[in-house]
Structure 1
Amino acid sequence: MPAETAADWTKFWELIKDIKFAMFTAHASDGHMHSRPMTTQNRSDDRANVLWFFMARSSEPVLDIARDASVNVAYADPASDAYVSVAGRARLVDDIAKKKALWNTGVQAWFPGGVTDPDVALIAVTIEHVDYWDVDTNKVVQLFKIKKAAVTGVPPRMGEHRELHSR
């Protein structure tokens, strides 16, 4: 696989920017991995190597990451055939300025006590590894490629797959 570029990172951010919910997966106390839908809070000018989430400080996901910081955040947009998996390390960030910068009406709906509510936890996921798949053909072409692959035995190339590592 070719070396990653700044354009690959830009594409990663473009792929996830309009996906409203991600599945945030952490190791639970029972040893299993548990996934929960969460909304990524990054702004368009906040595209470093961190994903931001608001959670209830007393919630299971926050307790899970206190035990084991390794998490996965998965995004899927079947309409545009874009799929992204992010592996990283999560941590609680007590920074009221950052909370205020990321606060929005969607978060307010979950935390009516506002940004200073003591149960509001800001979680940063430092990105360690990204896999993304971006299918670049329409459904008809995809079906043709799949049928051709079934006949020829050669797996179809359906689009772009990239692996990115923390910068």
Structure 2
Amino acid sequence: MPAPDLSNLKTDDDRREHLWSLIKDIRFAMFTSRHSNGHLHSRPMTVQNKSLDQSDTLWFFMSRRNDAVADLASDPAVNIAFADPGDDSYVSIAGNASVVEDPAKKQQLWSAMAKAWFPGGPEDPDLALVGVRVIHADYWDVKSNKLVQLLKMAKAAVTGDPPTDMGEHEQLRMR
């Protein structure tokens, strides 16, 4: 497979905007961390950002009692996966996560939905603010409609040749 053409994403701002455009409407992501026993653990989480900030950080609210917060102490490498099957859009983000003690940032990101999980508001002692600095992102974005996709797969099944031109796959390096 040829290397993806990222010539249209020349600046950090371009890369940041492009990544955000792919994930901004996907409500939940699967947040994967490595547990102290070595196993990978995934859990659904909501990104709190309104946009991807200048430090390429995604923000999450988590319970301090959550295993994910404990996992980050021993291994900060995480993966965040987004999927929108309706739009055939998929994003996988690799990054480093940490608990950030920043009351102003908690206040800035606070929403009514967060109150369902943290009734004490942004000052809730159980509320951990977790920042994930994006290092790398892969995305798959299929533009053809479902019928065209099915026809290409049917042709591939008959001919034995894998389907081609099923969509766009690119990699974005943020660091």
Give the TM bin, normalised by the shorter chain: over 0.9
Q: Does 1:66 align with 2:73?
A: yes
The separation in 2 between residues aligned to 1:77 and 1:9, in whole angstroms, is 19
Q: Does 1:137 align with 2:140?
A: no
Pairwise CA distance, 1:111: 0.1
For residues 27 and 45 of structure 1, what CA distance do their matches in structure 2 show? 24
| Cα distance change of structure 1 residues 126 and 18 upon mapping to structure 2, 3 Å threshold | same
Contact 2:76 2:97 in 1 (8 A): yes
Structure 1 gaps of 5+ residues are none
**TM-score when scaled to structure 2?**
0.89
Residue number in structure 2 paired with 1:153: 161
Q: Who is 1:56 aligned against?
A: 63
Tell me how far apart the structure 2 counterparts of residues 31 and 12 of structure 1 sit (CA, whole Å): 29
Q: CA deviation at 1:152?
A: 5.5
Q: Which runs of 5+ in 2 are unaligned?
A: none
SS at match of 2:165: coil
* Contact 2:17/2:52 (<8 A) preserved: no
The runs of 4+ residues in structure 1 deviating greater than 4 Å are none
CA contact (8 A) 1:41 1:51 kept: yes
Q: Residue 43 of structure 1 aligns with which residue?
A: 50
Counterpart of 1:162 in structure 2 is: 170
**TM-score, normalised relative to structure 1:** 0.93
Per-residue deviation at 1:148? Answer: 2.3
Give CA deviations for 1:95-118 in whole Å, capped at 9, x if unaligned: 111000000011111000111111
RMSD: 1.6
